[in-house]
Structure 1
């Protein structure tokens, strides 16, 4: 006897209500799809696992972002996974170019631009220095030394997910300190 197909809308409503078992059911139902899609795009099992986890965490944290009137939950989750995977690949390519490629700097138009750029650099350095130790360390490794989150994790001996979380937290705190919008 085949198990009944669980209605996406019912699962969605259960997740909206905070039912963790509903999230587990969704995970069991869609994890292979999400992981497979992320793996096809990134070609990296570890990254694909991270992306799959992020997709389900995102759904758990913001279940109302999914609108059942606009499509299926399967398609929505797959779209999120695909976008995150493509974003990851693009970010890695940009990082490779910025780390390996030639750096081209534009010359400031005038003295006022030079002073403003120097002032902004000082503000950023001070904001980074004011971060708590663990956050400051990952931000310095990732942005001043050009390390990937994997390299940060390896150098600090922490899990990759922890490195990613600390980098995100550090960037949020920097945005707050500098008066910008949070990423």
Structure 2
């Protein structure tokens, strides 16, 4: 998190509305573009953006700087909020390709953009190494927002099988990402 973001976030937590406005001004285009890319729905994007900043203001979502960059955390909160909204509406579909693309309107630094693209490439590579069954389950659960029971119903599988495939897929993804990141650090 940049010093400016840290300052603004702390002031916002302390009740400073101007800091919230400054964070909104800085990140609104990035987050709005991200949700549009995810859902192709402008109304949903506006609702998600509003909900994300309400969560920030009411401190229902709290940032921990030991767990990563503020911008990455904010995009993650936006992603989960969008998925919750999509699940509620049940009329939106999101593809794996769309989920990992960088929003077109980029208000972040070049460093943030490069980091985003690197992580996206690593994750795409990891997903490609999954079995077809695991890819399908990951896509339906994480990117289309279906519940495990809905996936079981849609794929005509027992719920335990869906849970097992999802758990195994996550294990494989984690191993691949750790191996790649470990290799980058060792280089």
| TMscore range, shorter length | 0.3 to 0.5
Considering Cα pairs closer than 8 Å and 6+ residues apart, tell me whether 1 or 2 has the greater RCO. 2
TM-score, scaled relative to structure 2: 0.45
